[in-house]
Chain A
Amino acid sequence: MTSTDTTRQPRPAAGAAPAIELRGLHKAFGPVRAVDGIDLVIQPGEVVAFLGPNGAGKTTTIDMLLGLAQADAGDVRVLGMDPTRAIAEGRISAVMQSGGLLKDLTVGETVELTASFFASARSTSEVLARAGIADIADRRVEKCSGGQQQRLRFALALLPDPELIVLDEPTTGMDVEGRRDFWTALRADAERGRTIMFATHYLEEADAYADRIVLISHGRIVADGSAAQVKSLTAGRIVSATLPGLLADAPEVAALRALPGVLDLEVRRDRVILRTSDSDGVARHLLTQTAATDVEITARGLEDAFLALTGDTQTDTTGSLS
């Protein structure tokens, strides 16, 4: 992830306006509060994953971001303007989850037709090449695989050369190869400095392709930061070590428990297992102040962070350690 950071060349921002600015966003469907107070600012050039389980409010937020839905309360600004205007000017494009294609057209016709809607558009051959589907321009849309259709949607999104692309669960229903090809195309484009926000419930996608992860659950943002930060938010890392002749009420254990950042401690035979936000401090203490051997530090996966933060499943921390 850090390697993408260094190769990216953010495009000079047109003015100082953030790419996306959501303030106090609320949207309810009857008694269901789909979006329950979202504040989010995304700067030009960022690649942001909008991560959450199904029903977390991702699609509703994206609909409001694109002007497809009206917020009950709150404010949406895209590149400093109203979403409808940003769309009319081709500054923002979207790749939706499914649908939105006429099955009886060919891939090339779909691109040419969509290009005609914009005052100025990139060439058909260029966007097809960028999306990696130049070889299937003459194929009917209905004959394309899910992955090919999704890359076609991506090609359409590239037409107005937008400053911002929003993708709603772009790889849902794709096979492994389709997903890989899709992300290859998207990543190549992101390196040109476009702002990208994608919703996903695939943790590995968020981890692998985003600079920043915004975790959403029950219509609220529960975490926001780099993948590493989001992971550490659930209590960072696990440090474990073997202490010969260890007893649960030994003074070493009390000293470990008192270390700054330690959140949880468990003793299993002669092995002590700690959950800590300061793994370095714990390791230093173990190695310098005790006779600990076999010290192990493991990062908790994003999966753990996801489950713990979204609170949909009550995670049993001791269970995950065994």
Chain B
Amino acid sequence: MSTITSTAPATTADRAPRRGLVNLAYLQIELRRLLRNRRTLIFALIMPPVFFLLFGTVQEYKTKSVGYANITAWIMVSMALYGAMLATTSGGASVSIERSQGWTRQLRLTPLRPASYVFTKVVSAMVLGLASVLVTTTVGLVEGAKPLGLHPSMDGQWGRIAAATALAWVCSAVFAAFGLFMGYLLPSENVMQVLGPILALLAFAGGLFVPLGTGLFATIAKFIPTYGVAQLARWPLTGTGGGSDIDTGNLALAVLNVVVWATIFTVGAAWRFRKDTARV
């Protein structure tokens, strides 16, 4: 079967299309491609820890509690989420480049299922998101992010920092869907040049970079897609606040925000995906 001189046609059994979503060879190549993309690595793995070092390591932040951890930890989780968001968005949005290069059309000339393609893109985006979270968290822990209780009884709970970090990663899945949606919606070859600034604006407006306080912007923020994920990821650190001056909002509202936006982005991505793969 593998010799050059063989002319025997493949048997019917060989011809059976592959089943299942997971194609490990594709996943491996996708991860290799991410490592080769310098711009993605800078955005996902270098910028977030640098932001953390710039804004999160003031001495005062290390000694002031947000409930169960110091402010430094709060900023660390915020930046980890921001990095994961950038990573998953750019992973999802890479379908835009691959559409413009005709790759998705080429895939339709192979037995690979379109769903398997999207699955591979999402998984590799989430892997990059995880790498981003781990880098920022490592830098954060070295630079003084730690549990710090408002009361001695709330002190020393490392599990809350671990939970917040894990939530930051899980929540970034919402932005993988966002990236996919935008990737199928926007024809641009450099879709991240548009989405990068949008994500930064959303991060400010949703209270990811700076506490919202009260007032008009705090009200608007509750409708921003970054609001829910930010509140949810930091919830293990703040709890209900317990008297700290950090706005912890309302957990139910944060969950509702995440669910609504996750649904909008997923339905949007699925809608564009179906349109893209439909036979015309």
Q: When A105-B33, A119-B16 are in contact, do A11 and B7 touch as well, CB less than 8 Å?
A: yes
* Complex contact B9–A66 (CB within 8 A): no
A96 to B104 Cα, complex, angstroms: 13
Q: What A residues does B16 contact at CB under 8 A?
A: 89, 119
Counting CB contacts under 8 A, is B29 at the interface? yes
A116 to B18 Cα, complex, angstroms: 9
* Complex contact B111–A119 (CB within 8 A): yes
A103 to B279 Cα, complex, angstroms: 26
5 additional contacts (CB under 8 A) given A96-B106, A105-B29: A69-B280, A99-B105, A117-B107, A117-B111, A123-B2
Q: What B residues does A88 contact at CB under 8 A?
A: 17, 111
* Complex contact A193–B7 (CB within 8 A): yes
Counting CB contacts under 8 A, is A296 at the interface? no
Q: When A11-B9, A113-B26, A193-B7 are in contact, do A69 and B18 touch as well, CB less than 8 Å?
A: no
Counting CB contacts under 8 A, is B197 at the interface? no
Shortest distance between the CB of B202 and any CB in chain A (Å):
28
Shortest distance between the CB of A112 and any CB in chain B (Å):
7
Q: When A99-B106, A100-B101 are in contact, do A70 and B9 touch as well, CB less than 8 Å?
A: no
* Complex contact A117–B14 (CB within 8 A): no
Q: What B residues does A126 contact at CB under 8 A?
A: 2, 4
A103 to B106 Cα, complex, angstroms: 13
Counting CB contacts under 8 A, is A298 at the interface? no
Q: What B residues does A161 contact at CB under 8 A?
A: 9-10
* Complex contact A91–B280 (CB within 8 A): no
Counting CB contacts under 8 A, is A87 at the interface? yes
A24 to B36 Cα, complex, angstroms: 49
* Complex contact B15–A120 (CB within 8 A): yes
- Most chain A Cβ neighbours within 10 Å, of B4, B109, B279: B109
Q: What A residues does B4 contact at CB under 8 A?
A: 126, 129-130
* Complex contact B15–A90 (CB within 8 A): yes
* Complex contact B111–A87 (CB within 8 A): yes
Q: What A residues does B36 contact at CB under 8 A?
A: 104
- Most chain B Cβ neighbours within 10 Å, of A88, A94, A105: A88
**Measuring CB to CB, which residues of chain B are less than 8 angstroms from any residue of chain A?**
1-2, 4, 7, 9-10, 14-18, 23, 25-26, 29, 32-33, 36-37, 98, 101-103, 105-112, 279-280
Q: What A residues does B29 contact at CB under 8 A?
A: 105, 109, 112-113
Picked from B18, B108, B109, the residue with its CB within 8 Å of the CB of A93 is B109
In the complex, the chain A residue whose C-beta lies closest to that of B25 is: A116
Q: Which of A56-73 contact B (CB under 8 A)?
A: 66-70
Shortest distance between the CB of A122 and any CB in chain B (Å):
7
Q: When A87-B111, A103-B101 are in contact, do A163 and B9 touch as well, CB less than 8 Å?
A: yes
* Complex contact A89–B106 (CB within 8 A): no
Q: What B residues does A160 contact at CB under 8 A?
A: 10
In the complex, the chain A residue whose C-beta lies closest to that of B32 is: A109
Shortest distance between the CB of A99 and any CB in chain B (Å):
3
Residues 105-118 of chain A: 1 if any B CB is under 8 Å from the residue's CB, otherwise 0?
10001001111111
16 A-B pairs (CB sep. < 8 Å): A67-B279, A68-B279, A70-B279, A87-B110, A87-B111, A98-B102, A99-B105, A102-B101, A102-B103, A105-B33, A109-B32, A116-B26, A117-B112, A120-B1, A129-B4, A161-B9
A161 to B2 Cα, complex, angstroms: 11
* Complex contact B101–A101 (CB within 8 A): yes
Picked from B9, B14, B32, B98, the residue with its CB within 8 Å of the CB of A119 is B14
* Complex contact B15–A117 (CB within 8 A): no
* Complex contact B110–A100 (CB within 8 A): no
A127 to B257 Cα, complex, angstroms: 52
Shortest distance between the CB of A172 and any CB in chain B (Å):
14
Q: What A residues does B25 contact at CB under 8 A?
A: 112-113, 115-116
Counting CB contacts under 8 A, is A8 at the interface? no
* Complex contact B102–A96 (CB within 8 A): yes
* Complex contact B110–A117 (CB within 8 A): yes
Shortest distance between the CB of B18 and any CB in chain A (Å):
5
Picked from A67, A90, A94, A109, the residue with its CB within 8 Å of the CB of B10 is A90
* Complex contact A99–B2 (CB within 8 A): no
Pairs of residues from A and B, 4 with the lowest C-beta to C-beta distance, nearest first: A99-B102, A100-B106, A116-B25, A120-B14
Counting CB contacts under 8 A, is A192 at the interface? yes
* Complex contact B111–A101 (CB within 8 A): no
A7 to B9 Cα, complex, angstroms: 19
Q: What B residues does A116 contact at CB under 8 A?
A: 23, 25-26
Q: What B residues does A112 contact at CB under 8 A?
A: 25, 29
A170 to B103 Cα, complex, angstroms: 17
A193 to B33 Cα, complex, angstroms: 38
